[in-house]
Structure 1
Amino acid sequence: MQRRTFLAAAAATSSWAALAQSAFPNRPLTFVVPFAAGGGGDVVARMLAKELGDRIKQPIVVENRVGAGGNIGSAYVLKSKPDGYTLLNMSSTYPIQAALTKVPFDPIGDMQPIIMVSRDPAVVVVNTNSPLKNAKDLAQAAKDKPGKLSYGSAGVGSIAHVGMEELAFNMGVQMTHVPYKGSSQAFNDVMSGQVDMMLTSATYASPFIRSGRVRALGVASAQRMASMPDVPTFAEQGWPDYLLVDWKAVAAPKGVPPEVVAFLNRELNEVLRSRNVSEKFTAEGTTAVGGTPEQMMDIVRSDVERWRALAKRANLKIE
């Protein structure tokens, strides 16, 4: 009897130990950024990785997998093992690709939302030596010489591409798109004068605007931003319908266990509430979002429909 009791207790202890060893996370995680290092999404991903890693006591590796407007990195994550260790740091480019291109995955069915991280108004910037001082200058110059003005982006189908096409449609003008492998490369060429302008996030651009390295023509928000109080909105300048937000989020492949999804969502919500993150976001005009996986999926679905409607209205095609 004592032997049976001892064996039962040993078995229970062994089972508990195995469960404890398998508890998530018990090894490093990987954040996949589908764009080049140095861009806005990469900056946010590295900040989240540092704060989340400190909380869960596991290293988080940030890996850049670039190409195809973010689809290479997205496909890599969505086809990876659904165990919660490989996560996608997606952006508002994701629903654009889903709406306008043939992606190598089901953008809704293959994706497990984790959390919406941030919302960041888009801003259009030019070189400090540019003759363009505001959005009206841009519209007039583009009308005077159709197709001459150029803008850079992180690639075909990125928000920096399609967002500028939306602005051109609203203004009734044509501009030339110059795609790069990442937003940081495009931004560098704006500063050096190789391309005329770029649409980017306020978080990424604000330090360069404040230091005078680029000039902002307008911000695509309903009100001016506290971080850039001198930059007028496009609505103020005559384009009230041009409202564009660049968001960041974290997702995983479909099939991740519900308890792992809940754990990641809870911990990332705490990261977004942390002083380090909230102060940095506030200083740069970014709004931390947080919330549930279901709320994130609602935003993704809504954006897919928004970009499909724009493509139909503006006869926009992405090759």
Structure 2
Amino acid sequence: MTKQKEPRSQQGITRRDILKYGSAGMAASIMAGAGLGSAFAQAKYPSRPVTVLVPYAAGGNTDTMARLACNFLSKKLGQNFVVENQPTAGGIVATETVARSEKDGYTLLFGAATNIIILPLMQDLSYSGDDITPISALGAGPYILAVRKSLGQETLSDFIAYAKANPGQINYAVGGIGGNTHLTMARFEALTEIKLEKIPYAGGGPATAALLAGEVDVYFGNASELLKLKDNPDIVLLAVTTTERLVQAPDLQTVAEVIPGFVARSWNGFMGPAGLPQEIVSAIEEATIEAGKDPEIRERLNQLGIIPLGTTQKELLEIIEADKTFYTEAVNLAGLAKKPK
């Protein structure tokens, strides 16, 4: 398949910007392994409905993305792709179910790095990332660093200087210990040499509410949550973790303008069990690439603060390789790495 060059998205960054922070080291081994199960491939895939497990609750961004993608694939491939939410145990059950499923493409995961990289770094699980075949990511969401207005800090540089001058005196919300935004903050603290006090909340919604109420000083949250509050008088959005400024908030600087190379995002996409036949991988990959180019889907993703992607399998493998480095360091910095046996 010839890789087409895409224009800059309405988010103000390109797919290339997202994808360039990785290496292709993982691609060859997984793609080679995918061919091992080709004997299981159907003459025509899919020939019956496909179950897509979403390891998060209904109504969130991942669920919305999964339903957009599944609706598109249902029309494109001629069989229903049915979303089934399984948030049990932080998504571990859903991921394990897919890892142990038949290699026939009829049980898929619409998940993220959390499921195949972060959780295995922190816990002893019955599966590892090697038990999953990544296929294609539909989109990725960056993060925004926000502070309460009464803190008196209007720029990222000013905030970093203030935090250095007041070690341990500033607190920040996390929407769950070990989550993406918690780990992103752990790296931010290390790179800026600041020390903040962590206050955990049960999800991004409560964390955002705590910031708005002035219960916490800082929150490194999903752009999809915080962009909606850019005009709120009680908070200040300091910076976003993209490579270039967002079209929706052109005055909002990037973290990379102050900390060169600091880029973070959470992708979501299709995955299957290890050894998934390449014919099946290609069918889902090609349809997801088309979904990522669909104007209606792109518009909806942009509204959610999500960067449209529609990656090839190779591109997703490169993202995953980069994420392994990012999150291994972050998990260690946060003191959450599982102890060796």
The interval holding the TM-score normalised by the smaller chain is 0.7 to 0.9
Q: Deviations over 1:215-249 (max 9, x none)?
A: 3111123321112101112233x322422232222
Structure 1 residue 180 displacement after superposition: 3.9
Instruction: Report the Cα distance in structure 2 between the residues aligned to 1:296 and 1:192, rounded to whole angstroms.
Output: 38
Structure 2 counterparts to residues 132-211 of structure 1, below 5 A = 132-209=153-230
Q: Deviations over 1:119-168 (max 9, x none)?
A: 33321123455544332343244334433433333422221111001111
Structure 1 unmatched ranges of 5 or more: 1-18
Instruction: Report the Cα distance in structure 1 between the residues aligned to 2:275 and 2:208, rounded to whole angstroms.
Output: 37
Structure 1 residue 260 displacement after superposition: 2.5
Structure 1 residue 303 displacement after superposition: 1.7
Instruction: Report the Cα distance in structure 1 between the residues aligned to 2:128 and 2:184, rounded to whole angstroms.
Output: 20
* 1:256 partner amino acid: L
TM-score normalized by the length of structure 2: 0.73
Q: Give the corresponding residue for 2:52.
A: 30
Provide the secondary structure at the position in 1 that maps to 2:254: coil
Instruction: List structure 1 runs of 4+ shifted beyond 6 angstroms.
Output: none
Structure 2 counterparts to residues 38-187 of structure 1, below 5 A = 38-55=59-76, 56-58=78-80, 60-68=82-90, 70-94=91-115, 96-97=117-118, 100-127=121-148, 131-187=152-208
Equivalent of residue 232 in structure 1, options 253, 260, 274: 253
RMSD across aligned C-alpha pairs, in angstroms?
3.2
Per the alignment, do residues 267 and 125 of structure 1 end up closer, same or farther by CA in structure 2, a change over 3 Å counting? same
Equivalent of residue 328 in structure 2, options 292, 295, 308: 308
Per the alignment, do residues 212 and 278 of structure 1 end up closer, same or farther by CA in structure 2, a change over 3 Å counting? farther
Q: Deviations over 1:85-134 (max 9, x none)?
A: 33222224346516732341443320111102223332112345554433
In our comparison, the structure showing a higher alpha carbon Rg is: 1
Instruction: Report the Cα distance in structure 2 between the residues aligned to 1:212 and 1:29, rounded to whole angstroms.
Output: 44
**Does the 8 Å contact 2:180/2:266 carry over to 1?**
yes
Q: Deviations over 1:161-199 (max 9, x none)?
A: 110011111121122333344333433333333433322
* 1:220 partner amino acid: T
Structure 2 counterparts to residues 288-299 of structure 1, below 5 A = 288-299=308-319
Provide the secondary structure at the position in 2 that maps to 1:195: coil
Provide the secondary structure at the position in 1 that maps to 2:255: coil
Structure 1 residue 304 displacement after superposition: 0.7
Structure 1 residue 63 displacement after superposition: 0.3
* 2:68 partner amino acid: M
**Does the 8 Å contact 2:175/2:203 carry over to 1?**
yes
* 1:290 partner amino acid: G
* 1:117 partner amino acid: L
Equivalent of residue 250 in structure 1, options 255, 258, 270: 270
Identical positions, percent: 23
**Does the 8 Å contact 1:113/1:294 carry over to 2?**
no
Instruction: Report the Cα distance in structure 2 between the residues aligned to 1:156 and 1:104, rounded to whole angstroms.
Output: 18
Deviates more, 1:98-107 or 1:274-283: 98-107
Q: Deviations over 1:283-307 (max 9, x none)?
A: 5664322232233123212321333
Q: Give the corresponding residue for 1:14.
A: none
Provide the secondary structure at the position in 1 that maps to 2:207: helix
Instruction: Report the Cα distance in structure 2 between the residues aligned to 1:87 and 1:197, rounded to whole angstroms.
Output: 37
Provide the secondary structure at the position in 2 that maps to 1:306: helix
* 1:27 partner amino acid: P
**Does the 8 Å contact 1:156/1:179 carry over to 2?**
yes
**Does the 8 Å contact 1:99/1:305 carry over to 2?**
no
Instruction: Report the Cα distance in structure 2 between the residues aligned to 1:117 and 1:315, rounded to whole angstroms.
Output: 29
Q: Give the corresponding residue for 2:24.
A: none
**Does the 8 Å contact 2:169/2:196 carry over to 1?**
yes
Structure 1 residue 54 displacement after superposition: 4.3
Provide the secondary structure at the position in 2 that maps to 1:268: helix
**Does the 8 Å contact 1:128/1:215 carry over to 2?**
yes
Instruction: Report the Cα distance in structure 2 between the residues aligned to 1:233 and 1:23, rounded to whole angstroms.
Output: 43
